[in-house]
Amino acid sequence: MICIRKILATLAFVFPNASGANSKAAESDLASQFRPIEFTSRAQCSINSRSPARSILIIGDGQDAGRLAFNLKTKSNINVTETEALGVYRKAVGSVFRLVVDRLINGELPLISGESADPSWKPLLEGCERQRGCGALEAKLAEAWDESKWQEAHRKATAARIPSKGEALLGCHQIRQFTALQGHLNTVRPRYSDLQEIAALVAEPGQGPAACDANSIQSDRHFVLQLDLVSIAETAFEKNGHDFWASAKIYAAWAWRKAPEVKTAMGRFGTLFPSLALEEEILLVPNGCRSISLPRCELQRLSLDALRELAKPPGVASGFENHLPDGPQADLIKRGARGVNSGFLGTRSTEAESWAKNFASRFNEARWASRNKLEGAIRHARVLETVSSETLAKDIESDLTEFDAARNLPLASQMAAVCLEGRILLDPKLKALRPNIESVLAAGTELVSNLNDSRKGLQKISRAAVDLATRLQPLCDSLEKSIFQTRASDKQSYNWNFLSDWARERMGQLIATDETSGESTPPDAAARHRGWERPQVYLNLTSPTQTPIELCRSPLACAQLTFKSYVDIYYVSTWAAALHNARKIKDANLFNPYAELTACQIYDPWHSTDRANADLTQRLIVSVLSAPLPIPMYFESSKVRPKVIGLTGSTGRNSNGSSELRFDAQFENEESKKTFFADLGPLTGAPCAVQYSNEIDVPFQVYGVSGVTINYCRDSRKVNSDAAEDGSTSKTTAKYSVCGGCTVNVSSGFSVAASSAPPGPVRFAFGAMRAFSLYAQATKDTVNRPLTYTVNPSYVADTYRENGKTIPPACTDSLSQGYRCFADTCAAFAADDFEKRSGLRVLESSVRYDDEENGLPRSGPRNGLAGLRIDECDSEILMRVRCDHSSRRYESITDFSSFSRQCKAALRDLKAAK
Amino acid sequence: MIKISAHFVLTIAMGLVLSMADAYAAKKKKPVVVLKPAIVVAPNFEFSQAVVERDGLLQIMNTMTCDSSLRSVCQSQCRAPACEWPEPLCRDCLGTGSEVMREIFSRLSIEYHATDSIDSDELIRTLVARTIKLTRKSPYDVYNSSTDPDLGSHLQLLCGSPDGLVGVMYDEDHRPTHATLVACNTPQGWRVRVLERKIEPKLLNP
């Protein structure tokens, strides 16, 4: 009974659509296996970031599988090749996700994560997440999996018997090359050429991407798979989609090791591949702007999204190179507004394998660097069991006396370095020089190590570093008054030669300048690590079987090692979710930098829209108020969005009870935008106007017509400010703009009329015209206003086939709105609405507009009567529609109707379907 | 295929000397502890590990044969005087993500040292049921290229021969947690040692 209830509950989550479009999708043609492609502007991309992804990419690295094959061949004489192992691995990865996602979208596996899940899963997930063991969770997963098998078999049998029943559909393909099918990553609006390319890819045999489990002729070392949820219950998915993906990740990790179906897909490697660390080898990426995990302004989420920087070409700084990084939250503000959907990650017609290879190489490099830091710090934690910070501080002090620091340049220099490093790590006065290390450590160390004793070691070293820096502070204070206090005339008693790399990175130019004035040549890295040549070694690593290894030449070297370990643990904690935490399949918003910019309130996608609306209202009010004045004068003031100048962190616990560091935006209020405009009328025989604003780029327009044709604008701008294609942005220093202009052409009649219009209602009418005109101009902002274009590959393929292997240019508009090809997009909308509600294919569709009789071209909303023809009835099906082509808004005013009996019968079915 | 034929002889004296020497060097503070009767035990068994293809599946298989003196132990563990069993799942071991595997393949003899010996009962129980067994030909070694000194060099340092195995404990999720023993097939017979993570930094001139 419980089981049946569970089935019903999960089935309630997803219903496959029973539309004609989707029954068409049930056919096995390639076009129907892709989601409609969404092209979006920056603002829309930002809005979509909170919506769950319907199409994802799996970026995989088969290095370990290849290495396994190499080992089997060379060490065990097994007849196996790397190519074979890589191919099987790629197929197995595709298979595990296809199996899991297929069962999830068909409601056969229950959601197990988030609010939508049964609460009984929560303690099991928490226990596993907090590394208290995953046995109970795995047992329950196995149970759910077994149940799902039976349901899947039942579904498949039903679908075979009753094809109209329609399953939720899933597409899985290998991306060999980024093409127009991923065109939304490269452009915000589909072009005619994109439609042609999509058509050729999906309609021509052998041109498009191969299925996930197809053999490939290329190497499978790096691969990109695309998973499309083609037919799902959209409304339910919008609500539960993030839980869906979180559940899919958990199931996939389990199924990789335990599911018999996956074992079968692994072929000969069925008992060996489960030992591969799948979580380390793949990364899930939303195919576009929507997200797999809900974006949050939290350290580890930001650190995952920062992986985007590693997808850029080699050599582009990523933030992962810094020894003491400011963290992804600081990089977010530093990078600011940037391009999106502009191919900024090099996805324009690129070989997917080489793209993935570059990303994987940079990712692995960062991972290795971080692991080395972690390993070094854990090792050093053991050293500290012998040398306490108290002993170290005492030994440092005695060394200064014993080896006469005042006359010993290397010793004094290393002491100066230790003092400065200690200060950076501890001194509250130097907060500006360092990130919030303590909060990051509190939130990150839980994730970095699989082992409890290692974690304790990390905590130990953190305490030791802080303790040591505290103990050394009085000594450093006194040295600053003695050895380190040098007059310009004195010979310098120290230099910065022994400063560690991380401190050098922090001090930047300050140290570089000082170093040039030093007398000795800077030592190389190894010598710097060793420090001053103390006559006797201070600390050795001994082992019964090996010769001793020198750990610290001097107590100062040990102090630097402690500080370095502390900095390394901070680094590792900062990037823990991205580079460590091997227990979870990772996902990153690679293609949408606005996911985190929006989550952290740095970017508001609605700001431009809200501002345009507010400006319109204000201008209308001002028009009323200024109507009685002798000359048209307007004053406008609108609030400018406060600028985010920083993100402050606070430590808390997430829904699974793990530590996290959340960030809140710190805003700086900007001066409100003020614009003064006066139409001076015909001063020198031509009508003139002036405008002053404390903001740049304010449109200069008189009465919304082309009245001012010769004008001049000047602002205080020094540098242009906008997102560049490469994602970079430059800042402007502009503070104001001044414009003036006079009309000289025929259309100046409007302006002349305005300036000479008598005060009163006529003047208001001109003011209102100006307000609406400026509003219309503001709505043309294709960057900061939400805009979406959708291309359905199935419709593109149909058009291509029906028109002799070409797309008629007239179809561009309707196909770009996600509709079938019709010359009038409003008619295409009506046809689409009918198809979705009836499941029947519309053959013809046209609209007769109410205002067609007067013959004048019109902009703005138009009402009309749509007439559709279908194969199933002999007459037209009618529907009243309202369509605004300029703002691309299409809506039905009435329901479908018809005069024909046959068509009425079809509509009865339609109503039932509705 | 690695084949470690092991004929244990009762080398009481040698065992005592070796264990005392090792333990004294490693645990200077409590050298007395090593004088346990366990060190005299020398199991007579054969152990081998190999990757084989069976029923279309590549598997890491372990084989163990016990002689008469150990037959009862083998009987209780394998339900036969000889047994063959596949290696358990070693989660995340094929890859570079496991810090434990990384440490074992690249730094075993630096991070661990061999201490006490282990009795045969315990050894067989540990080998059969509780450990992942790594040899120098283990497919899990993704850290060393063919020219690097591999696990064999660590085994040589820890128990006297490159031919042998490292037993690695795992947790309930089948992830390796730490190396627990080494067993080497030396000319004198098997040497089995418990591993301890015990490397003492030494202050020389404080």
Q: What is the DSSP letter of A681?
A: E
Residues 6+ apart with CB under 8 A from A532: A408, A410, A411, A413, A414, A498, A553, A554, A556
Largest CA distance in chain B: 63
Residues of A in contact with B113 (CB under 8 A): 543-545
Residues 6+ apart with CB under 8 A from A710: A741, A742, A743, A744
Question: Which residues, numbered 109 to 168 in chain A, qualify as contacts with chain B under a Cβ-Cβ cut-off of 8 Å?
Answer: 133-135, 138
Strand partners, A690: A678, A740
- Name the least confident of A117-126, A196-205, A539-548: A539-548
Largest CA distance in chain A: 110
Instruction: Give me the pLDDT at residue A720, please.
Output: 36
Instruction: Say whether both A76 and A151 belong to one domain.
Output: yes
* B147: closest CA of chain A, how far (Å): 12
Q: Which two tokens stand for residue B90?
A: 């070693």
- Name the least confident of A333-342, B52-61, B70-79, B135-144: B70-79
B166: enclosing H helix or E strand: strand B164-170
Q: Residues A764-789: what's their mean pLDDT? A: 81
Q: Which two tokens stand for residue A717?
A: 């701008």
Interface residue A71 vs chain B (CB under 8 A): yes
Q: Residues A607-620: what's their mean pLDDT? A: 83
Query: Angle of helix A555-574 relative to helix A452-481, nearest 10 degrees?
Result: 130
Question: What are φ and ψ of residue B182, in 5° steps?
Answer: -125, 145
* B12: closest CA of chain A, how far (Å): 22
Q: How many CB atoms lie within 10 A of CB A52?
A: 22
CA distance A495 to B31: 48
Instruction: Give me the pLDDT at residue A674, please.
Output: 78
Nearest residue, CB atoms, A540 vs list B59, B103, B201: B201
**Is residue A521 classed exposed, middle or buried when 0-12, 13-18 and 19+ CB atoms within 10 A define those classes?**
exposed
Interface residue A374 vs chain B (CB under 8 A): yes
Across chain B, how many H-helices and E-strands are there?
5, 10
Residues of A in contact with B111 (CB under 8 A): 379
Interface residue A449 vs chain B (CB under 8 A): yes
**CA torsion A526→A527→A529→A535, rounded to 10°?**
130
Instruction: Say whether both A466 and A549 belong to one domain.
Output: yes
Instruction: Give me the pLDDT at residue A522, please.
Output: 66
Instruction: Give me the pLDDT at residue A735, please.
Output: 60
**Are A371 and B89 inside 8 Å of each other by CB?**
no
A746, A778, A810: which is the final residue of a domain?
Answer: A778
Q: Residues A497-510: what's their mean pLDDT? A: 85
Q: Cβ distance B112 to B195 under 8 Å?
A: yes
Q: Which residue in A233, A352, A338 sits closest to A287, CA to CA?
A: A352
Residues of A in contact with B158 (CB under 8 A): 545
Instruction: Say whether both A755 and A662 belong to one domain.
Output: yes
The answer to whether residue A323 is domain-embedded is no
Per-residue pLDDT tens over the stretch A402-412: 999 888 889 99
Instruction: Give me the pLDDT at residue A59, please.
Output: 97
Residues of A in contact with B109 (CB under 8 A): 543, 545-546
- Residue A327, sorted as left (phi over 0), alpha (psi -120 to 50) or beta, turns out to be left
Q: Which residue in A158, A162, A68, A67 sits closest to A106, CA to CA?
A: A158
Q: Residues A607-626: what's their mean pLDDT? A: 83
The answer to whether residue A343 is domain-embedded is no
Instruction: Say whether both A646 and A519 belong to one domain.
Output: no
Counting every residue written for chain B, the total comes to 206
Identify the residue whose tokens are 């509780």: B130
The pLDDT confidence band at residue A904, using thresholds 50, 70 and 90, is confident
Which domain range does residue A854 map to?
A: 822-913
Q: Which two tokens stand for residue A566?
A: 């502390």
The 10 Å CB-count burial string (b at 16+, else e) for B80-89 is ebebeeebeb
CATH of the domain at A869: 3.10.450
Residues 6+ apart with CB under 8 A from A683: A742
Identify the residue whose tokens are 């040039």: A516
Best A80, A543, A580 member to test B by mutation, with max B CBs in 10 Å, is A543
CA distance B204 to B206: 6
The answer to whether residue A908 is domain-embedded is yes
Best B58, B136, B171, B182 member to test A by mutation, with max A CBs in 10 Å, is B58
Question: Which residues, numbered 648 to 667 in chain A, qualify as contacts with chain B under a Cβ-Cβ cut-off of 8 Å?
Answer: none
Question: What are φ and ψ of residue A645, in 5° steps?
Answer: -105, -10
CA distance A7 to A5: 5
Question: What are φ and ψ of residue A534, in 5° steps?
Answer: -65, 135
Tell me: pLDDT of B40 over 70.
no
Q: Residues A524-533: what's their mean pLDDT? A: 84
Three-state secondary structure along A266-312? CHHHCCCHHHECHHHHEEEEECCCCECCCCCCEHHHHHHHHHHHHHC
> Between A555 and A770, whose confidence is greater?
A555
Q: How many CB atoms lie within 10 A of CB A173?
A: 21
**Are A539 and B204 inside 8 Å of each other by CB?**
yes
Residues of A in contact with B98 (CB under 8 A): 277, 450, 582
Per-residue pLDDT tens over the stretch A576-610: 889 987 788 999 999 999 999 999 999 988 888 88
Interface residue A97 vs chain B (CB under 8 A): no
Instruction: Give me the pLDDT at residue B82, please.
Output: 79
Q: Cβ distance A348 to A186 under 8 Å?
A: yes
Q: Cβ distance A347 to A50 under 8 Å?
A: no
CA distance B24 to A649: 52
Interface residue A365 vs chain B (CB under 8 A): no
Distances (CA, A) of A537 to A549, A556, A766, A808: 10, 12, 89, 82
Chain B residue with minimum CA distance to A544: B25
Chain B residue with minimum CA distance to A67: B142
A552, A587, A622: which is the final residue of a domain?
Answer: A587
Best A71, A394, A396, A449 member to test B by mutation, with max B CBs in 10 Å, is A71
The mean predicted confidence, pLDDT, of chain A is 83
The pLDDT confidence band at residue A742, using thresholds 50, 70 and 90, is low
Instruction: Give me the pLDDT at residue A166, please.
Output: 54
A287, A308, A340: which is the final residue of a domain?
Answer: A287
**Are B50 and A536 inside 8 Å of each other by CB?**
no
Instruction: Say whether both A578 and A647 belong to one domain.
Output: no
> Between B116 and A719, whose confidence is greater?
B116
CA distance A174 to A225: 4
Per-residue pLDDT tens over the stretch A354-400: 999 999 999 999 999 998 898 888 888 877 777 889 999 999 999 99
Instruction: Say whether both A383 and A265 belong to one domain.
Output: no
Q: What is the DSSP letter of A760?
A: T
B82-86 and B57-66: which strand pairing? antiparallel
Residues of B in contact with A551 (CB under 8 A): 201
Instruction: Give me the pLDDT at residue A756, please.
Output: 59
Q: Cβ distance A450 to B176 under 8 Å?
A: no
Chain A residue with minimum CA distance to B87: A271
Identify the residue whose tokens are 């202050």: B203
Chain A residue with minimum CA distance to B93: A275
Q: Which residue in A303, A183, A213, A867 sits closest to A579, CA to CA?
A: A303
The mean predicted confidence, pLDDT, of chain B is 74
Q: Which two tokens stand for residue A183?
A: 């065109």
Instruction: Please tell me the total count of domains within chain A.
Output: 4
In the chain, the amino acid numbered A137 is L
Sign of CA dihedral A148, A149, A155, A158: negative
CA distance A151 to A14: 14
Residues of B in contact with A271 (CB under 8 A): 57-60, 86
**Are B205 and A536 inside 8 Å of each other by CB?**
yes
The answer to whether residue A808 is domain-embedded is no
Tell me: pLDDT of A11 over 50.
no
B49: enclosing H helix or E strand: strand B45-54
Percent of chain A with pLDDT over 90: 45
Q: Cβ distance B132 to B92 under 8 Å?
A: no
Q: Cβ distance A257 to A274 under 8 Å?
A: yes
The pLDDT confidence band at residue A19, using thresholds 50, 70 and 90, is very low
Residues 6+ apart with CB under 8 A from A517: A492
Nearest residue, CB atoms, B201 vs list A449, A454, A539: A539
Chain B residue with minimum CA distance to A139: B173
Chain B residue with minimum CA distance to A364: B96
Q: Cβ distance A236 to B68 under 8 Å?
A: no
**Are A541 and B202 inside 8 Å of each other by CB?**
yes
Q: Residues A820-839: what's their mean pLDDT? A: 91
Chain A residue with minimum CA distance to B141: A71
Instruction: Say whether both A760 and A714 belong to one domain.
Output: yes
The pLDDT confidence band at residue A96, using thresholds 50, 70 and 90, is very high
**Are A279 and B175 inside 8 Å of each other by CB?**
no
Q: Cβ distance A773 to A750 under 8 Å?
A: no
* C-alpha atoms less than 13 angstroms from C-alpha of A738 in its C-beta half-sphere: 1
Identify the residue whose tokens are 């990419």: A57
- Name the least confident of A106-120, A862-876, A878-892, B41-55: B41-55
Best B60, B91, B93 member to test A by mutation, with max A CBs in 10 Å, is B91
Residues 6+ apart with CB under 8 A from B88: B132, B170, B174
Residues of A in contact with B161 (CB under 8 A): none
Instruction: Say whether both A628 and A661 belong to one domain.
Output: yes
The pLDDT confidence band at residue B22, using thresholds 50, 70 and 90, is very low
Tell me: pLDDT of A7 over 80.
no
Alpha helices by DSSP H, listed for A306-388, are 328-335, 352-383
Q: Which two tokens stand for residue B195?
A: 């591993």
**Are B57 and A270 inside 8 Å of each other by CB?**
yes
CA distance A611 to A641: 9
Per-residue pLDDT tens over the stretch A858-867: 667 889 999 9
3-state secondary structure of A432: helix
Q: Residues A657-677: what's their mean pLDDT? A: 81
In the chain, the amino acid numbered A313 is P
Q: Cβ distance A512 to A496 under 8 Å?
A: no
Interface residue A276 vs chain B (CB under 8 A): yes
Instruction: Say whether both A111 and A140 belong to one domain.
Output: yes
Residues of B in contact with A279 (CB under 8 A): 92, 97
Instruction: Say whether both A582 and A616 belong to one domain.
Output: no
Tell me: pLDDT of A556 over 60.
yes
Distances (CA, A) of A747 to A650, A702, A769: 60, 12, 15
CA distance A587 to A592: 12
Q: Cβ distance A587 to A283 under 8 Å?
A: yes
A673-682 and A659-668: which strand pairing? unpaired
Q: Cβ distance A785 to A713 under 8 Å?
A: no
Percent of chain A with pLDDT over 70: 82
**Are B202 and A386 inside 8 Å of each other by CB?**
yes
Per-residue pLDDT tens over the stretch B101-118: 988 998 898 888 888 778
CA distance A191 to A889: 20
Question: Which residues, numbered 503 to 562 in chain A, qualify as contacts with chain B under a Cβ-Cβ cut-off of 8 Å?
Answer: 536-546, 548, 551, 555
The answer to whether residue A113 is domain-embedded is yes
Per-residue pLDDT tens over the stretch A726-739: 333 444 445 667 76
The answer to whether residue A800 is domain-embedded is no
Instruction: Say whether both A429 and A570 belong to one domain.
Output: yes
Instruction: Say whether both A619 and A755 belong to one domain.
Output: yes
**Are B92 and A280 inside 8 Å of each other by CB?**
yes
**Are B95 and A272 inside 8 Å of each other by CB?**
no
The pLDDT confidence band at residue A489, using thresholds 50, 70 and 90, is low
The answer to whether residue A500 is domain-embedded is yes
Per-residue pLDDT tens over the stretch A141-166: 999 999 998 888 888 877 766 655 45
Q: Residues A72-101: what's their mean pLDDT? A: 94
**Are A281 and B95 inside 8 Å of each other by CB?**
yes
Distances (CA, A) of A783 to A41, A480, A723: 5, 55, 10
The pLDDT confidence band at residue A543, using thresholds 50, 70 and 90, is low
Q: Cβ distance A390 to A468 under 8 Å?
A: no
Identify the residue whose tokens are 């009862």: B72
**What is the spatial order of strands in the sheet that B201-203 belongs to?**
A546-552, A539-543, B201-203
The answer to whether residue A320 is domain-embedded is no
Residues 6+ apart with CB under 8 A from A644: A333, A600, A601, A602, A665, A666, A667, A668
The answer to whether the complex's ipTM is over 0.85 is: no
